[in-house]
Amino acid sequence: MLHFAQVQKEAIKDQTKLRLLARQESEHTWALIEEAEVIPIPAAQTDEWSNGLLVLVELSPTRQVLSIKDATDWVLDLVKNYLTSEITLDFIQQEKERVEEGLQTLTLEKLDLSRRLLEVEARREEIQELEAKLQQQMKDLDGK
């Protein structure tokens, strides 16, 4: 699973770790990691990464580091695609509210249609009962 992380070097212990900041949930969806988890970097790779560097880390299901790469290009891509246009957090919030209102409207319309369908079904049954009574009355009149 892909994670966004920050390199943390501890000079005293001569250790390098990764502080996991977010994890990828789908192609365009990431979730922040509320309580930052720290994963040690394999000893062979400790000298490659400077303190504070932001990286993308591929972790195995057992939380072993499979690969690490500099996140600079990825972050710049995010800035280019999402932050240099007219899309702001306010715009996204407004769009979210607009979508939620639309969903509420659709839900109300669905409930109204369901109610109308039940009413039509009840009327159909009433008509069938009246039709059956009328046929019975016609038989009774023909029989006399």
Q: Where are the domains of the chain?
A: 2-83, 87-144
* pTM reported for the whole predicted model: 0.56
What tokens does 71 get?
Answer: 């996140």
Q: Which long-range contacts (CB under 8 A, 24 or more apart) does 25-29 make?
A: none
Asked whether the beta carbons of 25 and 14 are under 8 A apart, the reply is no
Mean pLDDT by 10 residues, the chain (144 residues): 90 81 89 88 73 92 90 89 74 91 96 97 97 93 80
pLDDT at 9 (0 to 100): 85
Q: Which helix (H) or strand (E) holds 34?
A: strand 29-40
Asked whether the beta carbons of 18 and 5 are under 8 A apart, the reply is yes
pLDDT at 45 (0 to 100): 67
3-state secondary structure of 62: coil
Q: Which helix (H) or strand (E) holds 137?
A: helix 89-143
Give residue 43's identity as a one-letter amino acid code: A
Using CA atoms, how far apart are residues 88 and 84, in angstroms rounded to an integer? 9
